[in-house]
Amino acid sequence: MPVLHDDPATLRQLCRSGAFDQPTAGHAPRRVQANLAIVPRADAFDFLLFCQRNPKACPLVEVLAPGARAPLCAPGADLFTDLPGYRVYRDGHLAEERADVAALWRPDLVAFLIGCSFSFEWALQDADIALRHLEQGRNVAMYRTRLACVPAGRFAGEMVVSMRPIRSRDVATVIDICARFPQAHGTPVHVGNPGALGIADLMQPDYGDAVEIRDDEVPVFWGCGVTAQWVAQRSGIALCITHAPGKMFVTDSKG
């Protein structure tokens, strides 16, 4: 297991300096972690509407003013430097991955912070729920599904889900715990058969890392904020800056 960082401000500084570039799962427990999506102002209203219409996949934590870089949920932070990794999409295509995107700042860019299921993992661990990706030091597995999101303007597409193997006897407890975290996707969207979501092979995630599912476990699926970057990619907008999968913005907010 890697060294875990408890203090969110320290972790953000390590990201800014380039000293930390790993997935943030397990770090800063009890703090809200967030997906990042940055779009031009011309596309921001439709993107906001998409998030509002699809709260299981894209629960909003904060929306910044055009050109703003410092969120209220993390005073002193900079959304263009303080994540472990970024992706840049141009005209719907992944153009590059970067350690920071400060050079891409423009006064018309609008940043969205969208809740992440990493925010509730500490509560599952406190309840003695095993989380395989943390045990193995991997990123959580994420999959594109055939569950259609409610469209808004040019933004449309299918929900992306994260998956964690859960012991069958623990599923009810997991659902009860996650209901307390609506800003972090809340309760699962599906339990069991991945084929019902259009997922052909759990060992071939679209994002993140595959993990073993043992005989006494079932796959449990949550809405995932990577949905936002997937629909932005599908929309073909001129520019969209996002976090790299699993590499979240860690806020000061208590989750």
Predicted confidence (pLDDT) per residue in 105-140, tens digit: 999 999 999 999 999 999 999 999 999 998 888 889
- CA-CA distance, 144 to 146, in Å (whole number)? 7
3-state SS of 132-180 is HHHHCCCCCEEEEEEEECCCECCECCEEEEEEEEEEHHHHHHHHHHHCC
Please report the pLDDT score of residue 26 as a whole number: 87
pLDDT at 121: 93
| Tens-place pLDDT, residues 77-104 | 999 999 999 999 999 999 999 999 999 9
Please report, for the chain, the start and end positions of each structural domain, with discontinuous segments joined by +: 8-116+235-254, 118-227
Residue 134 neighbours by CB under 8 Å, 6+ apart: 1, 25, 26, 121, 125
Whether residue 2 has pLDDT greater than 70: no
Angstrom distance (rounded) from CA 225 to CA 218:
22
pLDDT recorded at residue 1: 44
Find the helix or strand (DSSP H, E) in which 234 lies.
helix 226-235
Sorting pLDDT into bands at 50, 70 and 90, what band is 3?
low
Average pLDDT on 31-35 reads 95
Pick the CATH number of 118-227 from 3.30.2040.10, 1.10.1060.10, 2.20.25.90, 3.40.640.10: 3.30.2040.10
For the domain spanning 8-116+235-254, the CATH number is: 3.40.1640.10
Give the predicted TM-score (pTM) of the model: 0.92
Distances 251 to 40, 44, 179 between C-alpha atoms, Å: 23, 22, 21
